[in-house]
Amino acid sequence: IVGMILEPIPATAISFIAVTICVIGSNYLLFDASELADPAFNASKQALKWGLAGFSSTTVWLVFGAFIFALGYEVTGLGRRIALFLVKFMGKRTLTLGYAIVIIDILLAPFTPSNTARTGGTVFPVIKNLPPLFKSFPNDPSARRIGGYLMWMMVISTSLSSSMFVTGAAPNVLGLEFVSKIAGVQISWLQWFLSFLPVGIILLIVAPWLSYVLYKPEVTHSAEVAAWAGGELKNMGR
């Protein structure tokens, strides 16, 4: 616990070391005297089974696969390319740009089980370049021009996409594991998605428009956004 809080080394390394220590010292850390006194009890076998139990979880492999896809998005620049493509074709109006932000996040969410990596690492680096085009800056009255609306849409998009897919956020997977173990209820990726889909569609349609009405930006039309996104795509090789 102390290692996870202080993180003197990466958390994954701390977890691996902790599990290894528990397996090696299983006679003192995992099993009680009655278990060790049982002639039929194989402490070494049970300790190894405990240490590898996580790898038998389909949920763990689901997350692992999603992270592999997320790494591919980052390395190939596909996530940024998708974001720029939608910004280019939907960025001439501020309202449609709001829809573009939500759509980008939803497209990336099934394969990126971290809203920090998805919204913060892929979408935000693209969107943060747009407000300065209109002299709109954070912590300044000029934020009302367009920056405030765009940042608010980022909050909405990550909340929506994280809820729509099991693999949209790590806590979803953890919650699913708890439900499976405690209540014995199995929920598949598709069941989760279909259950949230009706609400998700409503939020996708209403949220950008309602935010636009309640916090209407001063800049409602622009050619600069599409031109900037087109230039960035050209620099990437398109």
pTM of the model: 0.71
pLDDT of residue 238: 54
Q: Smallest Cα–Cα separation from 119: which of 149, 83, 71, 85?
A: 83
Tell the burial category of 106 from Cβ atoms under 10 Å away from its Cβ (0-12, 13-18, 19+). middle
SS3 state at 93: strand
Selection from 110, 112, 101 nearest residue 72 by Cα: 112
Token pair for residue 223? 């050619």
Where in the chain are the domains? 2-56, 58-236
Task: Point out which residues pair with 70 in neighbouring strands.
Answer: none
Residues in the chain: 238
What's the rounded Cα separation, in Å, for the pair 92 and 94?
7
Under-50 pLDDT residues of the chain = none
**Residue 58 in contact with residue 64, Cβ under 8 Å?**
no
The C-alpha atoms of residue 154 and residue 83 are separated, in whole angstroms, by: 13
pLDDT value of position 6: 76
Token match 């569609």: residue? 201
Structure tokens of 58? 């389909």
In the structure encoding, which two tokens stand for residue 59, read together? Answer: 């949920």
Helix (H) or strand (E) holding 226, with range, is helix 224-236
- What DSSP letter does each residue of 167-212 carry, written as one string? GGSHHHHHHHHHHHHHT-----HHHHHHHHHHHHHHHHHHHHHHHH
How far apart, in whole angstroms, are the C-alpha atoms of residue 109 and residue 193? Answer: 12
Could you give the maximum distance between any two Cα atoms of the chain, in Å? Answer: 78
